Structures are given as structure tokens and as C-alpha cells.
Amino acid sequence: MAKADSLQGSMDLLVLKILSRRPGLHGYAIMSAIQDISGEVLRVEEGSLYPALHRMEEAGWIRAEWITKETGRRARLYEVTAAGKKQLGMEESRWQAVTLAVNRVLREA
Amino acid sequence: MSLWSRLGNAFRGDQLNREIDEELEAHIAEAIAQGRDLVEARRALGSTLRHREGSRDVKLVTWLESLRSDAVFGLRQLKKTKVTSLAAILSLALAIGACTSAFRLIDAILLRPLPVANPQQLFDLSRQGIGPEGKPQTFDGWAYPDFQLMRAAVRDQAELFAVSYAEPVDLTYKSDEEIERAYLQYVSGWMFPTLGLRPALGRVFTENDDVKPGGHPYAVLSHDYWTHRFGQNPKVIGQTFRMGNEIYEIAGVVEAPFTGTEPGMMVDIFIPTMMHPGVTRKDWTWHRTLAVVKAGAAFEPMRQKLEATSYAFEAERAKGFHGMRQEDIDHFLDQRLLLEPAATGVSDLQSATRRPLAVLGVLVGLVLLIACANAANLMTAQASARAREMAVRVSIGGGRWRLVQLVLVQSAWLALLAAAVGSLFAWWSGPFVVSMINPPDNPARLVLPADWRVLGFGLAVALGVTLLFGLAPALRASAVNPVSALKGGEDPHSKRRLMHALIAVQVAFCFLVLFVAGLFVTTFQRLSHQPTGFSADRLLVVEAVAKSPQPVEFWEQVAEHLRNVRGVETVALTDSPLLGGGSWNNFISVNGGPPNGVLSYMRAVSPVWLEAMKIQLIDGRDFRPGDTHPGAALVNETFAKTYFDGVDPVGKTFDLNMDEGLRLRYEIVALVGDVRYKSLREPILPQFYVPFRSIDKEGQLGKRGAGILLVRTSGLNPRALAAVLRQEVPRARPEFRVSRIRTQMEINQSHTVRERLLATLALFFAIVALLLAGVGLYGVLHYSVLQRRREIGIRIAVGAQAGGVARLVTMDVFAMVLMGAVAGIGLGMLSVRYVESLFYQVRATDLQMLALPSLAILAGALLAALRPVIQAVRIDPASMLRAE
């Protein structure tokens, strides 16, 4: 399905984290937020964003809702579900463990 | 996401695509709003289509999508091999249709609960003991006074109500000239509230409508009768009809679909029990007793209380018995009361058809299995033809389960199409079979709805059938080994082994069906050719009634008048036709001694009865016009054997023992040949015949309200005279009417209805089974010739003879046929003991019974093998090998 990209593995973590802080973002806003907050270091490949969002929706971690903006255009806004919050906790601690381990290797090798 | 929204997704593909497109469009619009270039934004997002696929893949439950494509593919696959698919569908359709049809019948007669509020609480009371002939018997008829005592005794645990044996009666609505026939049941007034039955019009009876003997001349109609007789006219309330000497007023119509408590008999008119002539009689058992047991009632104590009550009643009555041996009285009293569930109602049809229907169910199931084996072989052959395709699918990553699904879906197509055709067949054949059970003049009327029960059954069969014949080939196809399959075929024998095994199974089942069918057909033949002792040819049985009982003389005048009608050979009077169902019996004593415990059966007959019935006169003389009852008697040979040790009894006397010690003396004026009295199966009964002309206690000539005129016609078709006779009877004496005309032949045939039904259906199933097995055999042989044509070609090229080739092609399969036949004989021997009671003068071990099905199967197998063998022999090695 999705091609390998630099964010593989951490995409879910980032999306969940962003959405848990700011519920009700659409896809573009999620992408922009990741780029802005990371100081343009992390770039979300736009092509893989939506399949990832739909997959997470399917898994029940996030839910989406159509709203109509003032411009008349409809937008699809996402927010984290309870299951998503739990998943976020797990992903966060795994990330911590991995980075810790990587740091140790860098330090002691 | 719930299962429903997933299912929704699969069929809402377009909308889903639109939503995904819209979301991506929104993304691009956002990008442009942020000052990005349209082309760059689009490129960054990548192809819309790819996204859509990526997202959809997640959203759609993949198997639903794949199911749809498999369904389309499967149908295309079936269309590709039109002829074989059609053969498989038709054979399955026949089997599924027969199955559904059998289920409809079995359901309607045996399984469907009565349409009342509380069917599970309904029980039928009967008594089990030793009958007057010394054999064990169970009877559920009761005398009304006994019923009243029992009802009072268990009032707190159950509500008892009486329902008479439903029967056809003659009645008139407006003019007395137009006699109609309707089915009537006497019921307790409180039956309606007890069963929660409400009126559709007017009112239904309550307890108050059933209090005083003869005091409630009201009727409630069934909804069905109201519809077909009165077109649902609401003005029917208050209309009257006349039955016998009584005028009844219609009080209401009971709500549909209730038509009485006897499956097989749809009651038209309900009358309160108090209107039955036997309601005060202690010796007339004319009704069933049903009980609605209250929830939580202690069952066994209640049963014992009922038994004790009934025992006390009969013991009191038995004190008045005379001329009966103590042993018989003891048997009579020593009966166990049974309370049996009656949620599906109680009827004679149920008890008479339970076993035959079970047998038919099994036969039809076997036919279904044979058809399944055919379909399985077809699928296997097709799957092997598709081995390369399967191998390609596996090697490009198709999952095994995906392949199983592919083949199963195709099986499901077969089964569904077959079920659709089959249900049409069942639609037609259900009522057809019912019409076959029916004697024309007394039809069993069945409620045969095609509702969710039938539909559910049909679907379950289709599903079961799919798994049964689809699973093995599906698993086999999925287990394909791509490397060997693509290299040009794996072990070709493995597939043939499965097909051969199925052939053996088919032959075994086919043998069983043929074997059982043979037994039934022979039973029917033996029974219907059973000598009756009289001639039924050209004999009309004319039932006549009079408004009020008329002197015997008047009856004789009517008979005399009919003798002069053109086309009439002779006319005799009797109380009831032979084999017509009526039974009149008593104990007799010879030389003033005690009765010997064997019942003797009677008929009242006029002079020339012997001649009209063509019964042999062995010794003595026929009745003369002056002979009376009591006084003179004709006796049959079995009577002479039973009571006179076979000595010619002409001129001797015997006594008929009546109640209160009264004895009537008869002088035997003739010895006549044995005839069948009430059954073709039982041994001949001892019988004597008394004159139709009876004398009562005061010495006056007796009177009769109903009687039978036996008319032997000179024309070949006795029915042709029916209309004339209907006119001539009232012309002879205006008090008389014809209520019903049957031929004696019809009456005789009504005794073999069950046997005829079994024989006909079994024969039909046998032919279908043989046909299906033949088709299956042909298919397998054909397939194996195709598969081995290279080998055969080589063999022919190196000089194999035609005989050798034929042997090569057929040997394996015929070994299977042989194995199947042997297994079939074993199965037949094992199963036949369960149906032995349905046979007559035929034994399962008769050589002929085994030879016939064996020959039929052998002939079928040879026929099926003919074409494939010819094909094999004609293989041209040169072109064959060149093609390879």
C-alpha cells in the first residue's frame, strides 16, 4: 500500500498527537501543523497522508466529520477517539523507548 | 465501523469515491489558499486515482468486493459450459424441488403447530390397552358423560374440551332439493375462548352455548368456508341451514386460519357438542378429548386423576355388561390413560402417514445427495480443467481462501439457480401430491402455505447443498501446486479417485432408492390384486337419505323402482357398503353356550344382495322377501370355521347377545363365500348377514333414515347412470334423496391410497435417481477419456484392441459401481426393517427384489458407458499425438 517514506512508523504518532492537542483539523491543516511545529524538518509526503488517515479511521483511532466552511466548500475534520488516545499513549512510550535505545547506541558505541 | 457500514461500503462504491475525491479537492484548495501553485500541489498529492485506491482498499472490506467479482466470474464460468451447467442445475433443481415439496407436505401434516394461542400446552387424551381382538390398541375416542367427569376432576390443572371426529355431512340451505356437502365438527363451546380464538364476524361459542342437550342449534363457520361458500358476505349471520331434522342458525365466523384441530381435514362448520345425538350416551365414544394444561400443573398426578376418574366411570358401566367373558371385561377396564402432546393437532391422517412420509423424506434426501454428487463431480472436472488458471492465481499471490471462495461462489450459483427452478417445481408438485393421496369423494384438505418456514427450508437446503458439493472441489482446487500444474499437470489420478468414490456413493444410494421403490411397488400390486370375494365392476353405491326415518317397505319400493331404470341390471339394499368403513359387530353364542370371545361382523342386506355383489353361494338359499332381522342369517366360510369347526352350518342356529341379557336367535339359511369386510390387509373376518327388513320389539316393521342402494349397471361406465339415479330416487318416493354416489371401485381403491402414493412417488424418485446416477457416471467416464486420450492414443498406436481400450476406460468405474451396489444391498438390508410394517406379502430378502434394482443399475451403467467407450475406441492416434 503506502510506499516507504521518511515518516514511516511515526506518522500515526504525529497525527494522533497533533489531533489530541487540536481537535477538528482537516488533512491539509494536519500536514501544515507537523511541518510548522517541527520547524520544517519533518515533511509529510502528501500522497501518503490520506491513506494513513483513512486507515486510522478504519482502526477506530480517529473519527471524521464533514463541515461546510464559510467559502461554501466542504471540509473533512478529524479528531481523536478514546481508542486513539490509548493508542497515542502506547505509540508515545514506544517512541520514547526506541529513541532512548538509539541514543544509547550513539553514545556508547 | 460497524458491519453494516462495511456492507454499505461495498455497495456504495461510487459515493465513497466521490467523498474521497472531494476531500482531496479540499486539500488542493487549501494548498492554493496558502499560496502554492496548483500544478505543484497536484503533483505533491500524487495521482488522485492512486489515493482513491489506497484509501478504498482500507475502507472496503475486501472480501465483499471480491465476492462480487467472484459472483460475476462464476456466472460467466457457468455460461461457458452451458450444457453441463444446465444438466447440473436441472438435476439439482429436481432434487431440491422434490425435497422442498416433501418438506411442505411433512410440515403441513406433522410439524406445523395449530394456529391457536397456546399450542404447546395442548394435549390429547387416549387410552392404551388390549382390544377386543386380543391385540394391543390405542384409541382416543371418549363418551361424553365420561368426559364431563374428567373435566370436573382436573378443573384446577387443565381445561378439557371435546372435539368430534370431523366428518362430511349433507345439509341444505334454502331449498331441500339442493343437498350440499360440508365438513362438520362438534366442539365444546368453551373451546374458542380456551384456544384464544376470536370471531372474524358475529360471535363464536362460549361455555353458555353448550349446556343443554339438543338446546343450541347454532353454527360457527370457518373463515375458509365463509370465503369460498359465501364470498365473505357479512349477511351470512342469522342465515339457517338444515341438517337431518334440525335447523341451525349461523352465529358467527371464526378468525382465519383456524380450521379445526385435525390436520388433513378443514372443518367448515362448528356445532356445539350438545347437539350431537350421542351426548348423553355412555356407550358411544364419538369425540376426542383435548386438554390445555395450565402452566406449572403437576403432570403425572393429573394424569392419574384422569385415569382414576375414567376407570370409575367404565367400571360402573361394566356392571351392566352381559354375555361378555370376564377376561374381555378385564381387558376393557385395564387401560392406561395417555396424555400426549398435540401442538400440531391430532388426526388420522397424521398417524396414517407418519411412517410413509418419513420414508419419502429419506428417499428424497438420497436423491438430493445423488444430485449433489453429480454437481461435485462437475465442479471437480471443471476445477481440473482450470488447474492452470488456479496455478497462475496462486503464483501471483492469490490466497488459498480466495480460491476456495472462488469455487464456492460458483457452487452457490449452481445451488441458487437450482433452488429457484426447484421452488417452482415444489410449488406445483405439493398440491399435486396431496391430490394423489386423496380419494376423490373424501379429499384430505390440507393447508399448504408457502411461507417463511418453506422459504427458510429451501434456503437451508441450498446452502447445505453448496457446502456439500462445493467444499471438496474448492479445497482441492486451492491446494493446487503451481509448479507441477504449470509444468503440465500433477497426478491426474488423484482427481479421478475423488470422482470414483462419489460414483460408488451414488450407486449405493441409487440402489437403495430402487430397492425400496421395488418393495413399495410390489406391495401396492399385491394389495390391489388381493381378491375381495366380490365384484366391484359396474357397481354403484348410492347413498340415500330420507327427511325422517321411513319404513323398510318404502326402501324396498325405491329399490324396485330403480330395477326398471334402463341400464340397471339389479339393485340391492344394505346398511353400509363392503370396505366402506362402517363396522357393526357383536359376540355370538352357539347352542346357548357362552360366547367364545371372537367378534362377529354384520351387515344388513336385502334379497339379491349376493347376486348384486356376485358373492358365491356355497350352500342353502338367498334371503326371501319374507325373511326378517332377527330371524334369518347368511354366514361366511370363516364364520363356519370359527363357530362350527368348519361343518356346514346351514339349518343350524346361533344367538346374538344383546345388552341386558337379551338374546336374538337366527337360523342360518345359507353359507356364502368369504369377502373383505373393512380392510384388505387383515385376515378375513367371521361375518354374518341379516335381512335389511327388520322387526322391532313390538313386532312392527323397522324404519330407516339412511341406507345404501347397490346398483349393478349393464353399461361399462357405471358413473353414466349417476344423474339418472339422482332423479329417479325421489320419483320413486318423494321422501327420499340421493346424498352421494360412489363406485365400489373407488371404495376399494381408497384402501390402497397410501400404498399407491408410496409406490408412485418411490417409483418417480427411483427413475430420477437412476437418471441422475447415469448422468453422473457418463460425466465421469467422459472426463476420464478426455484426460487419458494421449495414453489411449499411444496404446492404440502400439496395437491395443477395441476390447482392451474399452476395458481400460471402464474397469475402474465399473469396480466402483460394483462396490456401490454391494454397499447398497447392505444399506437396503439394514434400513428395510424400519419400514417393514408398510409392506404387504413381500420380503426384503426375496431374490427378485434384489435382482431388479441390480439389473436396472447395470443396464443404466452400460448405457452411460456406451458413448465414452465409443469415443475412446475411435481416438485416432495419429491426429492425437500430432495435436500434443
- The amino acid present at B71, given as its one-letter code, is A
Search chain B and give the residue with CA nearest A54: B55
**Burial environment of residue A104 by CB neighbours within 10 A (0 to 12, 13 to 18, 19 or more):** exposed
Contacts A–B by Cβ distance under 8 A: 56
- Identify the DSSP state of B236: G
Residues of B with CB under 8 A from a CB of A: 1, 20, 22-24, 26-27, 29-31, 34, 44-46, 50-51, 54-55, 57-59
> What is residue B436's predicted lDDT score, i.e. its pLDDT?
67
- The rounded distance, in Å, linking the Cα atoms of B740 and B726 is 9
On whether any CB of chain B is under 8 Å from the CB of A85, the answer is no
Whether the CB of A10 is below 8 Å from some CB of chain B: the reply is: no
What are residue B123's phi and psi, to 5 degrees? -135, 155
Beta strands B736-743; A62-68: pairing state:
unpaired
Q: How far apart are CA B850 and CA B853, in angstroms?
A: 6
Interface test with B, best of A43, A49, A67, A76 (most B CBs within 10 A): A76
Of the candidates A47, A55, A73, which has its C-beta nearest B26's C-beta? A73
Residues B51, A55: C-beta atoms closer than 8 Å: no
* A37 part of contact set with chain B, CB < 8 Å: no
Taking only Cα atoms into account, the Rg of chain A, rounded to an integer number of angstroms, comes to 15
CA A4 – CA A6 distance, rounded (Å): 7
Per residue in A50-80, pLDDT (tens digit) is: 888 888 888 889 998 888 877 777 888 999 9
Give pTM, 2 decimals. 0.70
For helices B38-45 and A46-59, give the axis angle rounded to 10 degrees.
50
Task: Report yes or no: B377 and B97 within 8 Å, Cβ to Cβ.
Answer: no
* Inter-chain touch A51–B22, beta carbons under 8 Å: no
Tell me if A47 and B51 make a contact (CB, 8 A cut-off). yes
User: Between chains, do A50 and B55 touch, taking CB under 8 Å as contact?
Assistant: yes
Q: Are A56 and A12 within 8 A, CB to CB?
A: yes
Segments in B833-846 forming alpha helices (H) = none
Q: What are phi and psi of B242, to 5 degrees?
A: -115, 130
Q: How far apart are CA B258 and CA B265, in angstroms?
A: 11
Q: Cβ contacts (< 8 Å) between B60 and chain A: which residues?
A: none
Q: Give the tens place of pLDDT for each residue, B286-301.
A: 999 999 999 888 889 9
- Residue showing cell 384388505: B680
| Single-letter code of the amino acid located at B576 | S
The grid coordinates listed for B607 are 334379497
pLDDT reading at A5 higher than 70 = no
Beta strand spans in B294-392 (E): 336-341
CA distance A30 to chain B (A): 11
Strand B539-551 to B600-605 pairing: unpaired
pLDDT attached to residue B152: 94
Q: Which residue has the cell 381445561?
A: B159
- Report whether B263 contacts B191 (CB < 8 A): no
Burial of B565 (0-12, 13-18, 19+ CB in 10 A): middle
As beta bridge partners, residue B687 has B601
**CATH number 1.10.10.10 given to A11-108:** yes
At B507-550, the pLDDT tens digits run 999 999 999 899 999 999 998 888 899 998 999 999 888 878 88
Of B395, B360, B325, B411, nearest to B134 (Cα)? Answer: B325
What are B536's three cell numbers? 366391484
Interface probe for A, chosen from B51, B53, B60, B62 (most Cβ of A below 10 Å), is B51
The answer to whether the Cβ–Cβ distance between B26 and A60 falls below 8 Å is no
* Beta carbons of B310 and B160 less than 8 angstroms apart: no
How many CA atoms lie within 13 Å of B808's alpha carbon, on the beta-carbon side? Answer: 21
- Is the Cβ–Cβ distance between B71 and B36 less than 8 Å? no
Tell me the nearest-neighbour CA distance from A107 into chain B, angstroms. 38
Q: Does A65 touch chain B (CB under 8 A)?
A: no
What whole-number distance in Å separates Cα of residue B498 and Cα of residue B505?
11
Q: Are B767 and B513 in contact (CB under 8 A)?
A: no
Report chain B residues whose CB lies below 8 A from the CB of A46. 27, 44-46
Are the Cβ atoms of B30 and A74 closer than 8 angstroms?
Answer: no
Contact B135/B214 with Cβ under 8 angstroms? no
Q: Which chain B residues contact residue A74 at CB under 8 A?
A: 22, 26
DSSP type of residue B118? -
CB contact under 8 Å between A28 and B31, yes or no, is yes
pLDDT exceeds cutoff 70 at A7: no
For an interface test with B, the pick among A44, A54, A61, A78 (most B C-beta atoms closer than 10 Å) comes out as: A54
Does A46 sit within 8 Å of B44, measured CB to CB? yes
Cell for B682?
A: 387383515
Report, as ranges of residue numbers, the positions in chain B whose pLDDT lies below 70. Answer: 1-14, 47-63, 132-133, 176-177, 322-324, 395-399, 436-450, 480-495, 659-661, 880-884
Give the C-alpha separation, B240 to B161, whole Å.
Answer: 26
Q: Where are the domains of chain A?
A: 11-108
Across the interface, do B22 and A74 touch by the CB < 8 Å criterion? yes
Distance between CA atoms of residues B702 and B834, nearest Å = 51
Instruction: Answer whether B26 sits within 8 Å of A29, measured CB to CB.
Output: no
Measured at the CA of A36, the angle between CA A30 and CA A42, to 5 degrees, comes to: 85
Q: Is A29 on the interface with B (CB under 8 A)?
A: yes
How wide is the angle at C-alpha B224 spanned by C-alphas B251 and B114, nearest 5°?
95
Whether the CB-CB separation of A3 and A52 falls below 8 Å is answered with no
For residue B483, the model assigns a pLDDT of 63
Q: Supply the DSSP symbol for B107.
A: I
Q: Domain extents for chain B? A: 3-60, 62-112+381-488, 119-343, 491-532+751-884, 539-715
